[in-house]
Amino acid sequence: MAADQHLLEYFTAMDNQGNVVVKEPPKFDLDLYISNYKGRTRFDRLLLIGQSSVPLCVDALKAAIAEAKGGVDIQRYRDAWECIRIAAPNEPEAKWDDHWVLSTEKANKSKTQRLEQELKGYKNNLIKESIRIGHRDLGEHLEAIGDLSAASDTYYKMRPDASTHSHIQDISKHVMGVMIQRREWASILSSINKTAGINVTNEEMAADQPYYKVVAGLAQLGSTKYYEAAKCFLEVGEPALFHRYNNIATPNDVATYGGLLALASMDRSKLQSQVLDNSGFRMYLELEPHIRKAISMFISGRYAPCLAILESYRNDYLLDIHLQKHVSVLYSQIRDKCIVQYVYPFSCVTLDNMNAIFAKPGESIEKELIDMIKRGILNARINTIDKLLSTVSSNARVDMQREALQSIKLYEQEVIERLRRMGITAANLDVKGLQKGGGGGAGNLPGVGEIWADDARRPLNSADAMA
């Protein structure tokens, strides 16, 4: 009971802070899930699960403590400890390890000073390659201890000493790795565009494409540009080339991100051609078969099973570090698409049929349909008496007649203006400019008969009127 009370207080505080709280257990096993990642993203994902998942909270926070103490970032250890001391104060990990903090802090300062001295010596010797490596080692150390701003600045200092394209690519990856941790999505896209302008061989381009495509996809996702993000994930390439980048994401993540974003932002034809028929992305979908099945259900018009599959994995996606903030929006867009596609072939649908497919048992979809109509997503009307949803389709015949009448009216106005102009010209009533070389006085005005062209004197006939 005491443990439950502590968890209740902890998640009440998390909810008050605006964090997502997931009460149901996810489908994945925590140990297997986190074993797919390496680097600093392991701690970030464990901490997020510890702050969001009620069933996995204690286990995730304990694993986060172990992960932090396996590194040298004291601030990460403090963040995880602040959570576990409230959620599970009786756990051994909830006790502050002052000895580890002091020893790690001392070792960090010593290593920082040593690397700075080595870099200073390299600069005195004027060896470009040694200077570049010195900046890289110092930047990796600063990133490891959590000083991301200083790490980014140090990585940028490698640029003057880079002598090959591979060196520039290495600098770019280090910088973008820091940007991902700091969620600087706009800077990531700018950096990728600059890197794309570098001349590299086809082999180097093929080797680095998975990395840049996934990083660009994450940046577009973070910027809520779902269609652009989906295109990036769909163009990642073979999963075998991407396994070495699991410090950012895994092939399973690529399948999940690409499939969900495509389902939310692409129409049926593009889902078929760019997702299911995409030979490169199909290998990723084999890792997440439920995503492939949901897309297939949507394409075949089986919307209720499609939404049921996605709903069963909602808790998993709410515990993903990149998807959590976008799950509600993506699911809403997918649901709206399903409803619109279901209604499209019919002129009239009963609300009972809509409730049977899209609503929860005992609930009605009427309010949701009204909201979709107000937002302009669904062009329909609701008959509350007969419980019918009637689509409002434009009459092509009426539209064609309206356009024809408008064209006739414009033509009539143009003909009248031409006739009026020709009548003024025939009656010698229009005013011409002064002759060249003439003065500005009235005495220099030309005679009426001198200023008209010969064809203006011709009588007006029906052919002229229709010209």
Half-sphere exposure of 93 (CA within 13 A, CB side): 23
More confident residue, 450 or 257: 257
Which of the four pLDDT bands, split at 50, 70 and 90, describes residue 25?
very high
φ and ψ of 144, to 5 deg: -65, -35
User: In sequence order, what are the residues at sequence separation of 6 or more whose Cβ sits closer than 8 angstroms to the Cβ of residue 362?
Assistant: none
Region 27-53 average pLDDT: 94
Whether the per-residue pLDDT at 194 is higher than 90: the answer is: no
Q: Which residue has the tokens 């940028």?
A: 156
Q: Tens digits of per-residue pLDDT, 147-169?
A: 999 999 999 999 888 888 888 88
Angle at Cα 349 formed by Cα 298 and Cα 259, nearest 5°? 15
Helix axes 57-69, 2-16, angle to 10 degrees: 80
Residue 382 has a pLDDT of 85
Residue 362 has a pLDDT of 83
Q: Tens digits of per-residue pLDDT, 226-241?
A: 999 999 999 988 776 6
CB-based contact 71:140 (threshold 8 Å): no
Which of the four pLDDT bands, split at 50, 70 and 90, describes residue 196?
low
Kindly tell me the burial class for residue 98, based on how many C-beta atoms sit within 10 Å of its own C-beta (0-12, 13-18, 19 or more): exposed
Region 12-27 average pLDDT: 90
Distance of alpha carbon 35 from alpha carbon 398, whole angstroms: 63
CB-based contact 61:88 (threshold 8 Å): yes
Distance of alpha carbon 71 from alpha carbon 73, whole angstroms: 6
**DSSP bridge partners of 53:** 22
Whether the per-residue pLDDT at 293 is higher than 90: the answer is: yes
CA distances from 27 to 36, 314, 317, 395 (A): 16, 10, 10, 49
User: In sequence order, what are the residues at sequence separation of 6 or more whose Cβ sits closer than 8 angstroms to the Cβ of residue 349?
Assistant: 342, 343, 388, 389
Q: Tens digits of per-residue pLDDT, 417-426?
A: 999 989 888 8
Half-sphere exposure of 49 (CA within 13 A, CB side): 30
Q: Tens digits of per-residue pLDDT, 71-118?
A: 999 999 999 999 999 999 989 999 999 999 999 999 999 999 999 999
Region 113-126 average pLDDT: 91
Q: Tens digits of per-residue pLDDT, 378-390?
A: 888 888 888 888 8
Distance of alpha carbon 240 from alpha carbon 168, whole angstroms: 24
Kindly tell me the burial class for residue 259, based on how many C-beta atoms sit within 10 Å of its own C-beta (0-12, 13-18, 19 or more): buried
Q: Which residue has the tokens 């649901």?
A: 335
Among residues of the chain, what percentage have pLDDT more than 70? 88
